[in-house]
Structure 1
């Protein structure tokens, strides 16, 4: 099982979760962060520190966010280090999030 970062992270990328992850399985794209589904050890350390409530256990992921699991797999495929990754087309196609005031 794994945790998944969903839509609330798009254009926010707070990165608090990166500091909490004990196995460095969170990768940064241009528009959002991704949890590598094969590297996640299911510890849950990232979930409570996310200020925008973007992180869910895959079993609790809202139905309309299920595509984020595929996006994370696509973005992190073949990666073994925490270097930046390319956002998959499903993420790059999303409208820009308005800056909060």
Structure 2
């Protein structure tokens, strides 16, 4: 099983999760992070670090977020690896309160 970044990360991009990942399996896009399913070792460390609760085990991804399982795998092939914590997006705290933001994802 792998872990998956879901919709809550969109336009926030807090990178606390990146800082604790022992295998550097996160990739970074303009306004979202994704997990490379081939690199994830299911350690669960990232889950507790995400301030917007955007990370789930693939088996626990909510029904309405299931598309993010394939999306993480797709983006992992396109985006660059991120290995260190960076500042969140400038308006991340505002976006963290917004639900249903899939249409704002910049891929």
Please confirm whether the aligned pair reaches a TM-score higher than 0.5, indicating the same fold: yes
Taking the aligned partners of 2:73 and 2:9, their CA distance within structure 1 comes to: 16
Q: CA RMSD in A?
A: 1.9
Following TM superposition, the consecutive aligned residue runs of length 4 or more in structure 1 with deviations greater than 3 angstroms are none
Partner of residue 103 from structure 2, selected from 83, 94, 97: 94
Equivalent residue for 1:82? 81
Equivalent residue for 1:68? 68
Alignment of 1:1-101 (within 5 A): 1-77=1-77, 82=81, 94-95=103-104
Aligned length: 86
Taking the aligned partners of 1:47 and 1:39, their CA distance within structure 2 comes to: 16
* Structure number with higher helix proportion: 2
Unaligned runs of 5+ in 2: 83-101
Unaligned runs of 5+ in 1: 84-92, 97-101
Taking the aligned partners of 1:6 and 1:19, their CA distance within structure 2 comes to: 18
Taking the aligned partners of 2:7 and 2:60, their CA distance within structure 1 comes to: 14
